[in-house]
Amino acid sequence: MNRLEPSQLKIDNELLDCTTSNYDFKYVLANNGWIMGGSNPLMDFAAADSKVYFRREVIIWGDCVKLRYGGQPSDCPFLWDHMAEYTKFSATHFHGFRIDNCHGTPIHVAEHLLNVARQVRPNLYVIAELFTGSEDVDNIFVKRLGIDSLVREAMSAPDCRELGRLIHRYGGEPIGSFPQCMKECSIIKEKRARALLTDATHDNEPPLTKRTVWNVLPNMCIVTMASCAIASNRGYDELVPHYIDVVNEERLYAPFKEESNACAHAVSMEDGLLGVRKVLNELHIKMAEENFSEIYVDQVNNDVITITRHSPLTRQSFIMVTNSAFTERSGPYNQIVSPIAVSGEIEEVLLVAYLVLEESDSSSNERRRSLLSTNRVLSNFKRDKNFINGIKEVKVCLQTHLQVNDHNIKMFQSSSFVENGALKTLVYVTPENFIPGSVFIIKTKVSAEAEKALKSLTLPLNKNDLLLNSIKELSLIELNFILFRCAREEEVEESGNSTYYVPNFGSLTYAGLQGFITVLKNIALTNDLGHPLCTNLRQGLWAAGYIINRLSRYKWSKKLGHVVKELLMLLSHIPYFLVPCYFYLLLMQLWDLLLLHAFSLMSVFIQKGDDFTQNLALVSLQMVGSLKSIACRDPSLPPQNDVDLSITMAAGLPHFCVGFMRTWGRDTFISLRGLLLLTGRYAEARSLIIGFAGTIRHGLIPNLLDSSRNSRYNCRDAVWFWLQAIQEYCKLSNEGENFLKAKIHRLYPSDDIKKYRKQDRYIFSGNEYANIELHDLIHYVLQEHARGIHFEEWGAGVNLDSNMLKEGFKIDISLNSETGLIQGGNAFNCGTWMDKMGEESIINSHCLNSNVYTDYQLRPNICIAMVVAPELFVRNHAIACLENMESVLLGHYGMKTLDPEDWAYRGDYNNDNDTYDPSVAKGANYHQGPEWIWTLGYFLRALLIFHSGKSETTSKVLRILQAHRWAIKASDWLFH
């Protein structure tokens, strides 16, 4: 610490009698040390404003002095310059630094000195002893100082389980990890700092004083198996049973016998653990050089642990099994260990080792156990006066590089067998020979069959001609089945089958491949091998069987199913722990090829679009499909020969996708431009337009189609979205205005209910059905609106709608001759999108008495008119209106359906609300504030129309859509 002036000591006289004038304050020093808990490791506790010394919070080291550097070199130039020269000198002679008590070193000082050192040695290896109590704070030190490894101590583990956790935590990637090359991208996140794992450090108590004498060998072997830097000290290897004081110890280690200055006390590789250390170090280097980068730790019981190091390149493994013996047990000496399953076959027994006393009878395990008493060994130890010495009587019985059938191997036996096409080996530990302190390491390899399967699994699928040809034959409607279909669709269409169920996770979102892909992509991004789906895949090939069976159901999918079966069945031949990553590899490639094919069948706009555009296009595959149970027209009704009327569009997943709730006229034609026309799916768009055209009655298309059986004609705006879709189709498709000549087979040529007979549907009883060209049908629709539309829905009553009151079945639509606008509806039905159907329990005076003010409420509907008929608007007025909507109605994802300042605004929608509040009960506030996403599309299109040619408008639109880009990637319903 710098010299303190008396004036700087702002302490009460009771604490320090400053009247002792004979103190020379230039010699006042403070010991260095550390602070236990609660302190901020980023603060310099020797700074002028620190009080930790005066509060006696520092646990001091009596052999060193704390230096006060200040905040910058100018605060103490001599000290900074002196330490910089010392650092340069050290960097000249050493390849690496160990920063002791790094958390007690001012971080700005360490940063400066390491920068000086790296000027001399750019590749300086820096390790640090860092105990901040927080990984986040650790990472601050690591990043600012460029620390390569943090010292982690195996001796800090209180038991075998905790030691296994340390190895798993710092010892490498989990076995069977998803390789980086398999991932489209990786989440950028902070990683745990790399470790330098020590079996014992130089300045702590040796293991013999904290554990048992038997534990020293297992502890060493366990640390060796970690896939990180490891370290030890010579005292550990020579079984020194006492603390070595690195400051006060004056003795040296004895020389080795091979050295020129060898003496009577010289040590050899047969002493202590030196011989086995050499073998283990060679193994650790080999595993690092040959990329045995993956690890699996299995805590068999309280004492027995197995650690596997695996190479993702060669698929070879080193497996260590040890009886750790943390404590001396008074119970049974011989432990029964369940057979250890090994994927593949044992190639070599690398090491078999255990501890014995030099004079013991190695054939008597019980005698050996009694002799290897830690207290007995320690009591017999005598400290040499001249050299640091260890326990000489404890020896390692070591065998290396044995064949598995060698009769000298007493510790275990093994047998191999084939299970479900994969070769496996069981290792049976011999209890009477697997004594405390025992360890063996085996090297395994996959079978020839597994190696062949792995080679086939790594072949790119885009070179598989059989697969490519089977994919080319698929239509977009067929891809809806292969990729998607939610649970309700699958259950209705496939006789009770549903999406794949994963124990401890739940059912997947889709029955198609997307259901697996969504989950697997998230797993791969985070390498979450503990996910229940990975567990399910390791336990059996049920997921593969589900996919194969599903693709084999239909004639058109069997060709693809056969190729996929051959690929997925390769998984049965590989080690079980590799199944998740190769299952993912196969499905990802297959999924990519199917998507490429899907986009090739769409418009150039989609094919050349960015990922967000293509994500939106995939919604077209999600929503549009052919279901046997619900079609655009029931097969028993007269067909429309030139279109496929089996195609329908789901109004939403999962609640509006089956039965009479699947196909809504309004929703279909609001979505038709984006899902079918811009994607180039003109045939499907044409089918839906004509399919609904054939059901027109009273000048309206159905709100609920229900396969044209019990259609509902209770909305007045659906037909206008249908008309707009026709106009869009004529503009965008090659058929153009010739489409207006398309023949429409009308199911309801008359609006007179008396001309129809009712069974489960209304069937025309006349002589023939009407055939009319589309343009004449359009004229009929407009003419009916001009005349006025007044009727009661056919079949009105509880059988048609149990929630609707009698007045709700009455449809009244008329033309306002002064404005030219269509008007009508009542409080009891939902004639337009902005209406919410009333129920008897929520009707009150507010919804019965309409006021003209409601025509002036700020809502997003006006954007629809701006887009379809911009010529009706004065440009400056339209721009002002859009600016107002942006500031008031624009939400995070959609447009609020009502001005939040309006008295009727209720922003939170809950259809399950069963309270007595009429403004929200039964979801009455459906369009009284909650955001709707589809209206945002019209708002953005209106911006581009009335701000055409302005680059800042395009930037604004892209900025608004940024939230949707992230939302669609995070959604379980679509992840591309």
Instruction: Please give the positions annotated as active site.
Output: 100, 103, 203
Cα–Cα distance measured from residue 665 to residue 652, given in angstroms and rounded to the nearest whole number: 13
Question: Which among 144, 132, 128 has a CA at the least distance from the CA of 194?
Answer: 128
In the sheet where 822-824 sits, what is the strand order? 789-792, 810-815, 822-824
- Phi and psi (nearest 5°) for 622? -65, -45
Tokens for 333, please give them: 């000496």
Q: Name the β-bridge partners of 812.
A: 790
Q: Are 679 and 720 in contact (CB under 8 A)?
A: no
Beta strands in 420-494 (DSSP E): 422-429, 439-445
What's the Cα-to-Cα distance from 463 to each of 466, 479, 968, rounded to whole Å?
A: 9, 21, 31
Q: How far apart are CA 422 and CA 571, in angstroms?
A: 9
- 3 state SS of 374: helix
| 500 C-beta neighbours (distance < 10 Å), count | 22
Please report, for residues 5, 148, 194, 655, 869, the alpha-carbon distance to residue 143 in angstroms, rounded to integers and kept in the order given: 37, 9, 12, 50, 59
CB-CB contact of 296 with 308 (8 Å): yes
Residues 6+ apart with CB under 8 A from 435: 214, 323, 333, 334, 354, 365, 368, 369
List phi, psi (to 5°) of 612.
Answer: -70, -45
Q: How far apart are CA 93 and CA 277, in angstroms?
A: 27
Q: Which backbone phi and psi does 285 adopt, to 5 degrees?
A: -65, -45
Contact 646, 698 (CB under 8 A): no
- Going by the DSSP 8-state scheme, the letter that residue 431 receives in this structure is T
First CA to last CA distance, the chain? 60
| Residue 764 near residue 747, CB atoms below 8 Å | yes
Q: Are 583 and 604 in contact (CB under 8 A)?
A: no
CB 822 within 8 A of CB 716: yes
Dist CA 211 CA 477 (whole Å):
68
Q: Residue 815 gets which letter from DSSP?
A: E
**Residue 703 φ then ψ, to 5°:** -80, -50
Other CB atoms closer than 10 Å to residue 432's CB: what's the count?
Answer: 11
Q: Are 769 and 746 in contact (CB under 8 A)?
A: yes
Nearby residues of 644 by Cβ (< 8 Å), 6 or more positions away:
626, 683, 684, 687
Question: Contact, 147 vs 128, CB < 8 A?
Answer: yes
Please tell me the distance from the alpha carbon of residue 510 to that of residue 723, in angstroms, as a whole number: 33
User: For 609, what's the count of Cα atoms within 13 Å in the CB-facing half-sphere?
Assistant: 19
Q: Is 17 exposed, middle or buried (0-12, 13-18, 19+ CB in 10 A)?
A: exposed
Please, which residues have CB within 8 angstroms of residue 917's CB and are 6 or more apart in sequence? none
Cα–Cα distance between 128 and 148 in angstroms, integer?
A: 8
- 496-505 long-range contacts, Cβ below 8 Å, gap at least 24? 497/550, 500/543, 500/546, 502/532, 502/533, 502/536, 503/532, 503/535, 503/536, 504/532, 504/535, 505/531, 505/532, 505/533, 505/536
